[in-house]
Each structure stands twice: as structure tokens, then as C-alpha cells.
Amino acid sequence: MSKEARLDYFYGTEGEQFQFLQVPLVFFTDPLYCDFDCDEIMLYSHMLRRICLSRKNGWLDDLNRVYIRYSQKEARSDIRRGKDKVLDAYRTLEKYGLIERIDMGIGKADMIYVKNFAKHVGEPC
């Protein structure tokens, strides 16, 4: 028997049953992000997904800015990377101004402001 999976086709509306992660195309088209790898892109995409949940849960600060709570352990699980890779991805996102982390203390998930990627203007690499 072959190691190739024998998968069935999608029928009718079956393809609508899954959740999908939105990945901003700007990370592939804007020269500003030309040094990003999949770790940064996937981490930011997971953070964007969490913004919707935070807004629904009323996680807004005094200035009406949405924030998320996202532990590094959760991030490691979500993007399937180790501690060092996730820390590097967080640092890169901070360096580019895409997130602002607030340390909530030992054992607590960081409070993270996910910034609007659409307001960056790219420069050639």
C-alpha cells in the first residue's frame, strides 16, 4: 500500500465546514516585509484571528483599542514552532511595529496590541 493518502473529493457545500486563517497578501507583495518568513506571517495571522474574538468579548482599553491575550505557549502550538522561533517572530513583529506587547507578569499571557498592517508604506529592500 502506498504512503500517499487516499482522500475523497469535496461535494456540494462541504468545503464551507472548515475554519480558515486569513493571511494578508501584503506580506508577500510589499517590499517592507520582504525579510519576513512564514513564522512571522503565521503568528501575525493568528493574532488577527484573535482580534475578532477580543472585540466580541469587549477587550478594549480606555482608548477603544482592541487587545488580545496570547501566551507564547499558545503561539508555539498555533504555528508549530519552538520557543526560540516564536520569540524571534514576536521580536520581528515588534521591530516592524506590527504589535506592541505588554508583559502582564510571570505565568500570565501578554497583553498585545495588534497594529494595522495596512497603514505601512513600503520601501524597496
Distance CA 101, CA 16 (A): 34
Distance CA 100, CA 117 (A): 13
Average pLDDT (55-71) is: 92
What are the tens digits of pLDDT across the range 28-38?
998 988 889 99
Closest C-alpha among 80, 66, 73, 75 to residue 112: 66
Q: The whole model's pTM is what?
A: 0.81
What are the tens digits of pLDDT across the range 74-99?
999 999 999 999 999 999 999 999 99
Please check whether residue 111 is in contact with residue 102, taking contact to mean a CB–CB distance below 8 angstroms: yes
